Structure 1
Amino acid sequence: MSFLGELKRRNVFRVAGVYVVVSWVIVQVAATLEEAISLPAWFDAVAVSFLAIAFPIVVVFAWAFELTPEGIQRTSAVSTEDSITEQTASKLDMVLILALLVFAGAMVLPRFLPQETVPAAETVASASTSDEAMVAAATPPVQDASIAVLPFADLSPDGDQEYFADGISEELLNVLAQVDGMKVAGRTSSFAFKGRNEDLREIGQVLNVAHILEGSVRSQGDKVRVTAQLIQVSDGFHLWSQTYDRDLSDIFAVQDDIAQQILVAMTDELMSDKAPSIAPAARTDISAFNLFLEARDLISTRDEAAMQRALELLNQAIEIDPTYAPAYASRAKAYTLLSDRPGSYGSIPAKEALAHARANVDKALALDSKLADAYAVQGLINADTGRPDFAVSSLRRAIELNPNSLDARNWLGLALSFNGRLRDVADQLKTLVDIDPLYRPGVTNTILYNYRIGDFETAKKVGERYIRANPGRAESIRLQSGLLNLDNQPAESILLQETVPLEEFDRRTSGELRSQYYDLGINAEYNGPHKLRPLFEPYGDFKEGNESEALAKARKAVADFPEYYAAHTIYIRVLSETKSDAELAGHFASAFDGSLETYATKLRPSVTVNPPPYSELALALRTVGDNAGYDDAMQRWRFTIDMFRAGGDVSPGRDLDEALYLAIAGDDEASIDFLESAFAKRHPLDVFLFKSRAFKSLELHPRFAALRRANLVRVNEERAILGYPPLDESYYGIETASTSD
């Protein structure tokens, strides 16, 4: 008999087949146990190694020994007549067929089973009792080709390779983001779980991904070991893992090499058509690189002190390597975000910050014309300086170079809002928070713009998803407070916001809180610790009745910050409310060359939800007898309102804008229609609104008086929650409004 025939007679092939299938079952059990009871990461690897080593032993045993009625005997000692290998073969065939059916079922059946998702109707029904159900409803379905790259753990003896570990993670994240059809969770969200030993299934649910890549870095001397593993979120199954041992002579070459190998293995597992090549990372001195990485993390916090520290680190990095383009781009971003313009987080005068930012962007692009971060900051600068079309161009280029550039996507949304395209903004921001649901600036803006287009449910769900992932943190409290305010609960919003420790209050947040007090008619009475930013003090002083002080501060602000749009806006509003119309008209002529185009361009806010102060300008020009200027201002204002309406703005803020326009144009009934619409959507309205000079002609109108009284009822309900006495109609200084026809 031939050798192959003897292998078949002795059932060697059958035993090998049964062994392979049974081994597969054992490996699945080992992986599940490792995840379920937190066994060491090497547990399943040891199991696989043991089974592989035992395989040739089992095959040799099947060749050398035979199962007989008398027990196991050496094959050579069993005669052909006494052999029962044919009976054993039949039994082994049955076992193999059954095992193969189990194997096939385990591989194929999950593809035909529905995912365990909560139906939309059930989610809505349980929303009042389950925060988790509400978050689930806000989360789009998980797609198979989706992944989050968690920051690799630094297991080095000295714990000094954290930035190298982060660099590998981010390199993988950026490259995967360029694979067609693959969704990659953004850096902010992925890195939010750094150092948090949380269940991977929970992380996958928060980030809305099907797979997670995690790993570790251990270096000692000139050697480095990097371990990476790809995990399926649904069941914790390890799809792939690998360990790489390398010399550390060139950290960037090591990083590129490992990232490429991991990517090839990952894209095979995720059934991608092909793995893209990794472009070599920008080279620099390792100490400069570490300073850059630390600074970049500090900038992402948007905390003023942290970003000031980031500037110091970037200065050191650039001193070490004056040719490292990413450091210049990050320094430009830090300067822009540290300016004292609205929407930023610092106190560097806007003119000074802008000059530094422009110089650093130009330097970065001169060193690297394909640097996405540099184009992103260039776009933000263009938006700030009233060049939205150039901003959109720069930001689209940044996204083209790096699809996971969160800042670029956020700032692109804001740039689109300059033309009133609020639905487009909301769509852009939806893509952003789908990529990175924990990116705070994107979350905040998504809430704002969805509210503006009338989709408060989406706004609320996006916010609550963030809050759920960051419970108890100051930024989550502020976010929840903002949602309460948008949901017509201003007093509850104030009470919640004041639970934030004072040391965690920045001036921007303090100003927002103070404005909420003003809306309820709580002015000089309020002596809390939350002060307005200096630039906003003039309007606060005016609301508190200090007209002369308000004028003095407004004049000083616009002299100190001539390029700062908010200084001009506040100055113009104070001039209008104090009826300083000649001064306002003169300022329009001198600061804006009497040009509405210049006026509109310079006074665009960074987050565009309100137009420039057209009502104040129109009133002033009409009062000083410039009828042509008045007509032009009203026409430009009408065009802007219509542009926002066409872009999807249905907010109470836009209704109030319509009401102001129509009141000044002399259409009292239509003006009150929009005031009533705004009140129905958002009440109470700013109590100071009814004192506005623009509504002077409406004071004795019965519908206006009735609306004012209804608003006071709601204002007083909120004041009572805060412990303040009620206001009455005398607050407006109008004695006959309620009885006149």
Structure 2
Amino acid sequence: MSWQEPLKVFIGLILLGFPVALIFAWAFELTPEGVKLTESVADGESIHKETGKKLEIAILVGIGLIVALFGYQQFTASDSSVTTNSATNYSGNGPAAGVGGDSIAVLPFVDLSPDGDQEYFSDGISEEILNVLVRIPKLKVAGRTSSFSFKGKNQDLRDIGAALNVDHVLEGSVRKAGARLRITAQLIRSNDGFHVWSETYDRELTDIFAIQDDIAKNVADAMAKSLGIAAGQSLVGSRTDDPIAYDNYLKAHELYRQRGEDNLRKARNLLADAIARDPNFADAWAEMGLILETYPWYVTGYRYDNSELWASALDAAEQMARRALAIDPENVQALSVLGEAYTQRHDYVRAFEYYDRISALGANIVVLGPWAQTLIQVGYFDEAEKVARASVAVDPLNAIEQNSLGWSLAVQGRYDDAMAVWSNHIDRDTEYRITFPYFNLARLFIVLGRYQDANDLIERVFKNSPNYSESEREQNLASMANLRKLAAGDLTPDEYVKIEGDPVLAYTSESLIKQLNEPAPAVKKLEALWLKDDVELKLFMLTNDSYEIAFQNPTWQQAVRDSGVLKLWQARGFPYFCEAKGEDDFQCYADRVLRKQT
């Protein structure tokens, strides 16, 4: 027996116990009397504050151990055992300047399962087919967020085609019963409703990837043009042969989209089981990295109460992503996880290496919005605008992409353009789940002295959005009261900016600088933002009224150095409004930032 066999057995035993350990840690609480089910623990009885985060660290260490063992096993295995493809890989189909032409939107397939409980599966299959279609050269595919915004709406296909700027729509249904699948797909021309192609597949669940591949090829053939598919070329790589692992992956992906601490915990359990069942399931590893990287944002006080735990989460996310890349070197989700991990660590040189790799592959629109925001954080305003415009062209109804575009315009002083972008989104929004455009537009209103408009807009958010706690509502409504006083003349800008403890003030004081007789209090608040140890840099605010002061401020200049931004500029090039001064110094110019309105 090879010396590697005991190692494989050891790894297998760890994997068998790993999901159990995760479930135990997340389903039970430690109390002075011992371990109890979380739901059975009375208020005040839990010692979660003392033990919970230790359990989290232990779990993350366990994940790291598993990755290390698998990595070693992978290293010693032959190359033939490695799967090198994934349906989430986008090959040569970067962000389109516009959709139109040979273009398609994939609407969410309808769940027709007997119990109506497979919506996560039908949505997941729809998204998987979308991801396969994106791999077809010359075919432009509308983004997932925009396409799925029509879910459950009996809307005319001509209107959908016009809204998404596509000439074809793919829709269908999924019926899942036990191990059997029935998938019906139909390709429809959006301008006249003509059914170009349709097919019904009655297969075993294990044939799901063959079905996806067949649908994609039939779509390409039916659109009557050569879309660059080579004869015999498979568009879907071997993902996993385990239908339960795949089902758990789809469930976890849907829970990730819903966000929230509980949903992310459940998603981690499901992915742990998927990985245990199929250690070569690259997308499951990448998704686990995404979950671990996202989770800290949804735990109150996670970052500032326990920076060690935050760092551990990033380390674990990185290991998950690297495991995925060991199986599939072009896994876009894994590359994105690594790019974001290094961004959060302020290691921008490394972060941009991964974002550039994604771009070279044909950028996944899922990561374009966050990438545009990162570009803004480090001063690359013009590049951020290009990336954001590409994102919006592909996914025009995505609030994150719209927010990034508006932000990239505002930091260049193009306020009218930015306001038009955000207003366009707000006019269509009915859910109030993504609120960045509202707050950013409100800040622009403050810049322009339209305090009542700012007040009304933010009050509208807190009245309708499900995302905020009662305490957050109360704090921000108190801030709105201060804005009303400012609008009514009961507070001068100088008095307003001196208020302490106002959650809105830190982000609006820079907008008032030109209106202040005494700018020192506003500058002090800005310096606190520049020095804040936060994931999101505040070096370049939404508006440029503060740039003249900031660029000459020693605190701002040192923050550029300490945050790693100067190192990035030296490696990648300086923004259009900054230049090097010697080997280790630089100068930025406020009068070069402003760009003309389009």
Q: TM-score, normalised by structure 2?
A: 0.61
Aligned counterpart, 1:283? 240
Correspondent of 2:365 among 403, 406, 412:
406
Correspondent of 2:562 among 576, 592, 598:
598
Correspondent of 1:204 among 127, 137, 161:
161
Aligned CA distance change for structure 1 residues 190 and 486 (closer, same or farther; 3 Å): same
Matched, 1:387 2:347: yes
Conserved in 1, the CA contact under 8 Å of 2:377 and 2:536? no
Cα offset, 1:233, TM superposition: 0.9
Matched, 1:355 2:312: yes
Cα offset, 1:229, TM superposition: 0.6
Q: Once the two structures are superposed, what CA deviation does each residue of 1:176-217 show, in whole Å capped at 9, x if it has no partner?
A: 212222211111111222222222122212211111000011
Aligned counterpart, 1:172? 129
Aligned residues: 446
Aligned CA distance change for structure 1 residues 212 and 476 (closer, same or farther; 3 Å): same
Q: Once the two structures are superposed, what CA deviation does each residue of 1:638-664 show, in whole Å capped at 9, x if it has no partner?
A: x2337x93xx6449xxxxxxxxxxxxx
- SS class of match (1:349): helix
Matched, 1:532 2:498: no
CA distance in 2: counterparts of 1:537 and 1:451, whole angstroms:
14
Aligned CA distance change for structure 1 residues 232 and 491 (closer, same or farther; 3 Å): same
Residues 323-472 of structure 1: pairs in structure 2 closer than 5 A? 323=279, 324-339=281-296, 347-349=301-303, 351=307, 352-367=309-324, 368=327, 369-401=329-361, 403=363, 405-417=364-376, 420-456=379-415, 458-470=417-429, 472=430
CA distance in 1: counterparts of 2:226 and 2:320, whole angstroms:
38
Cα offset, 1:595, TM superposition: 9.7
CA distance in 2: counterparts of 1:164 and 1:440, whole angstroms:
24
CA distance in 1: counterparts of 2:486 and 2:287, whole angstroms:
38
CA distance in 1: counterparts of 2:151 and 2:293, whole angstroms:
27
Deviates more, 1:482-491 or 1:353-362: 482-491
- SS class of match (1:430): helix
Aligned CA distance change for structure 1 residues 316 and 392 (closer, same or farther; 3 Å): same
Residues 224-373 of structure 1: pairs in structure 2 closer than 5 A? 224-248=181-205, 250=206, 254-270=207-223, 271-275=225-229, 277-283=234-240, 285-300=242-257, 306-320=259-273, 321-322=275-276, 323=279, 324-339=281-296, 347-349=301-303, 351=307, 352-367=309-324, 368=327, 369-373=329-333
CA distance in 2: counterparts of 1:519 and 1:354, whole angstroms:
41
Aligned CA distance change for structure 1 residues 469 and 346 (closer, same or farther; 3 Å): farther
User: 5+ unaligned residues in a row in structure 2: which ranges?
Assistant: 1-95, 511-515, 542-552, 569-574
AA paired with 1:451?
A
Aligned counterpart, 1:213? 170
Cα offset, 1:263, TM superposition: 1.5
User: 5+ unaligned residues in a row in structure 1: which ranges?
Assistant: 1-138, 571-583, 605-610, 615-631, 652-680, 682-741
Aligned CA distance change for structure 1 residues 462 and 230 (closer, same or farther; 3 Å): farther
AA paired with 2:113?
S
Aligned counterpart, 1:702? none
- SS class of match (1:309): helix
Deviates more, 1:510-519 or 1:209-218: 510-519
Residues 696-711 of structure 1: pairs in structure 2 closer than 5 A? none
Aligned counterpart, 1:473? 431
CA distance in 1: counterparts of 2:102 and 2:477, whole angstroms:
41
Aligned CA distance change for structure 1 residues 286 and 519 (closer, same or farther; 3 Å): farther
Cα offset, 1:291, TM superposition: 4.2
Q: Once the two structures are superposed, what CA deviation does each residue of 1:581-628 show, in whole Å capped at 9, x if it has no partner?
A: xxx99x99xxx9x89733564999xxxxxx9xx9xxxxxxxxxxxxxx
CA distance in 2: counterparts of 1:282 and 1:358, whole angstroms:
25
Aligned CA distance change for structure 1 residues 147 and 524 (closer, same or farther; 3 Å): same
Cα offset, 1:492, TM superposition: 0.8
Conserved in 2, the CA contact under 8 Å of 1:156 and 1:220? yes
Q: Once the two structures are superposed, what CA deviation does each residue of 1:92-112 show, in whole Å capped at 9, x if it has no partner?
A: xxxxxxxxxxxxxxxxxxxxx
Aligned CA distance change for structure 1 residues 290 and 460 (closer, same or farther; 3 Å): farther
CA distance in 1: counterparts of 2:486 and 2:295, whole angstroms:
28
Structure showing greater Rg: 1
Correspondent of 2:100 among 132, 138, 143:
143
CA RMSD, Structure 1 to Structure 2 (Å): 5.0
Conserved in 1, the CA contact under 8 Å of 2:121 and 2:251? no
Matched, 1:504 2:466: yes
Conserved in 2, the CA contact under 8 Å of 1:335 and 1:356? yes
Aligned CA distance change for structure 1 residues 347 and 234 (closer, same or farther; 3 Å): farther
CA distance in 2: counterparts of 1:195 and 1:262, whole angstroms:
22
AA paired with 1:453?
Q
CA distance in 2: counterparts of 1:475 and 1:318, whole angstroms:
26
Conserved in 2, the CA contact under 8 Å of 1:317 and 1:327? no
Q: TM-score, normalised by structure 1?
A: 0.51
Conserved in 1, the CA contact under 8 Å of 2:172 and 2:183? yes
- SS class of match (1:283): coil
Q: Once the two structures are superposed, what CA deviation does each residue of 1:493-549 show, in whole Å capped at 9, x if it has no partner?
A: 2112202345635389976994993986589999x9x9639999999xxx9x9x99x
